[in-house]
Amino acid sequence: MQEIRKFYDKYAKEVFRFSLYLSGSYADAEDITSETFFRVLLKRSKTENNELITSTIKTYLFVVARNIYLENRQKSKRETRILTVKQESSITLERSHEKDNELRDLLAFLLTIDIDDRSALLMRQEGLSYREISYSLGISENLVKVKIHRLRQKLNKWRTGELYE
């Protein structure tokens, strides 16, 4: 039981953050995160040596989370809700409102990007190598690099307002 708790504590925040930026919804991200760990631990208990065969466990967790998100999206074609962030009480109300708006805008922008492109960018932001991302998405390493480069350019244009000019 201790081993499972350590495993969860080590990766839960990263899986949640990845799920949040995929789904744009705090509640959906919580569901995806819990389902991810449930499936991974269930699969682990069914393997002979209790080991998962993957390049890294973090890559595997992101792939499972992405697949759960896609399954959920297929099941319900509902509009994605935008996250309402709870800020710490020490932050002033004005600053909190400003940060909420920035986060909502960023989430709204990310949700306009194709799911595979968004996944590649988010996995890279989480520290995965290009090789791990290419393995996860089933595309070449060079294509991953191109996608991420183009998305970073698009994100920079969005930040500066050039995207809508």
CATH number reported for the structural domain that contains residue 21 in this entry: 1.20.140.160
Instruction: Count the domains in the chain.
Output: 1
Q: pTM for this one?
A: 0.58
| Cβ 143 vs Cβ 67: under 8 Å | no
Residue 82 resides in a domain: no
The share of the chain scoring above pLDDT 90, in percent, equals: 19
| Cβ 82 vs Cβ 107: under 8 Å | yes
d(C-alpha 67, C-alpha 125), whole Å:
19
Mean pLDDT value of segment 68-91: 56
- Give the model's pLDDT for residue 91: 46
Residue showing tokens 């710490």? 88
Mean pLDDT value of segment 62-78: 78
Residue range(s) defining the domain that contains residue 43? 2-76+90-164
d(C-alpha 53, C-alpha 158), whole Å:
39
pLDDT at 58 over 70: yes
pLDDT at 88 over 60: no
Mean pLDDT value of segment 103-120: 85
Task: Count the Cβ atoms, other than its own, within 10 Å of residue 51.
Answer: 9
Residue 81 resides in a domain: no
